[in-house]
Structure 1
Amino acid sequence: MPTSTFFRLPEERRDRLVNEAIAEFSDRPYIEASLSQIARRARIPKGSVYQYFEDKLDLYRWLLTEEAPRRKRAFIGAASREGDFWARLETHIERGMAFLVEHPRLARLSAAAADPTANVEVRGLHKAICEAGLVELRAVLAEGAASGALKAPDLDVATRLVSTIIGPGLTDLVLQELGAELHEVLASDSLRKRLGSKSRRRLSQQAVLFIRNGLGTSRP
């Protein structure tokens, strides 16, 4: 985790370092990324990085477990807390797709972390990231169950089923519509722009309709 020295940096310098670290880890596999490159991109001495983080893994872990989730929560914002449970879920899904469009580097970083890896150094971290996503989704579904909108006798099972629908399932639909692979979409501004707000709303509505028909206490 960052040292106290890191948080005492001027905001502009701190943001530049963080943004260039995100760029480095999103442009290259973890094993190929380097602190030397991050320091060069951020225009600071490499030794300075060690004043802020213990090593490359320490910086990578913080980006994935703290900074990227914080930025995504800020992006989704209060909009996902408005309306009834189903409206909030729909907004949550739509804003998740919008995050991919507007923050491709963070999306690439998160996508890489979700992929299985043979790298022993980060294998456990990648698994923890995926589990953290399930914990977050479980909390959302628990709100639906508590409000009476959702029937979920086993929240753990429901969470994994819904995760498949709005995760790999929805991703496959998006890629099919765009006629491209995920790495192409994340690398292409023009492809991402084709996933406009109208398309995102339609896809999120269809995903929620499917979930509601299976888990809702009443048909929409």
Structure 2
Amino acid sequence: MPTNTFFRLPEERRERLVNEAIIEFSERSYTEASLSQIARRASIPKGSVYQYFEDKLDLYRWLLTEEAPRRKREFIGAAPREEDFWARLETFIERGMAFLVEHPRLARLSASAAAPTAVVEVRGLYKAICDAGLAELRAVLAEGAASGDLKTSDLDVATRFVSTLIGPGLTDVILQELGAELHEVLASDNLRKRLNSRRRRALAQQTVLFIRDGLGAEGKRK
């Protein structure tokens, strides 16, 4: 975790360091990434980095499990809040796709953590990311269960069901449409532009219809 010294940095300097770290770790594997390169691009002495983070793993772990999820939450939460639960879920799904389009480096950073690695310390980080994502989705679905829109006797099972549908399932649909692999989409502005707001909304609507058919309470399905 960052030290208090890091949080006392001027905002502009702190943001520059974080953004350069995101670039470095999104472009290179954890093993290949360099604190020296991050420090050079952030225009700070390498020794200063150790005043803010214990080591490279400490910085990488914080980016993956704290900073990237925080930025994604803020991005998704910036959308107007719908009154209807199903409309909120549709927006949640659409904004998740929009994050991939508008913040490819952060998406690439998270995706890279899923790659097989010989570095023992890094292996558990992807699970931590997934667990955090499940917790956020569970909170969204809990609202539907509380309002009576979502019918489920086990919210944890429902969360994993929906997570699979809007995670690997929806990603596979997108990649099939674009005719590309995920790393190609994250590296190509032209490919991401094809996943425009109209298409994202259509995909989100279709996904919500599948969820409603399986989990929607009787009388509240369209």
Q: CA deviation at 1:64?
A: 1.3
Q: Counterparts of 1:114 and 1:162 in 2: how far apart (Å)?
A: 20
> For residue 188 of structure 2, what is the aligned residue in structure 1?
188
Q: What secondary structure does 2:79 align onto?
A: helix
Letter in 2 for 1:76: I
Q: TM-score when scaled to structure 2?
A: 0.95
Amino acid at match of 1:219: R
Corresponding residue for 2:221? 219
Query: What pairs with 1:158-177 in structure 2 (closer than 5 Å)?
Result: 158-177=158-177
Equivalence for 1:8: 8
Shift of 1:118: 4.1
1:116–1:126: 8 Å Cα contact kept in structure 2? Answer: no
Count of aligned pairs between the two proteins: 220
Residue 13 of structure 1 deviates from its aligned partner by 1.0
Q: Determine whether 1:153 maps to 2:167.
A: no
1:69 and 2:69 matched: yes
Alignment of 1:92-111 (within 5 A): 92-111=92-111
Cα RMSD of the aligned pairs, angstroms, is 1.3
Q: Is the 8 A contact 1:39 1:49 kept in 2?
A: yes
Deviations 1:61-101 (CA, angstroms, capped at 9, x unpaired): 11112211111111112426322110000000001111111
Q: For 2:221, give the aligned amino acid.
A: R
| 1:128-139 pair list within 5 angstroms | 128-139=128-139
What TM-score, normalized by structure 1, do the two folds share?
0.96
- Alignment correspondent of 1:56: 56
Aligned mates of 1:154, 1:115 — CA distance in 2? 31
Q: Give % identity.
A: 84
- SS state of the match for residue 207, structure 2? helix
Residue 206 of structure 2 corresponds to: 206
Structure 1: tracts of 5 or more residues without a match: none
1:121 aligns with 2:110: no
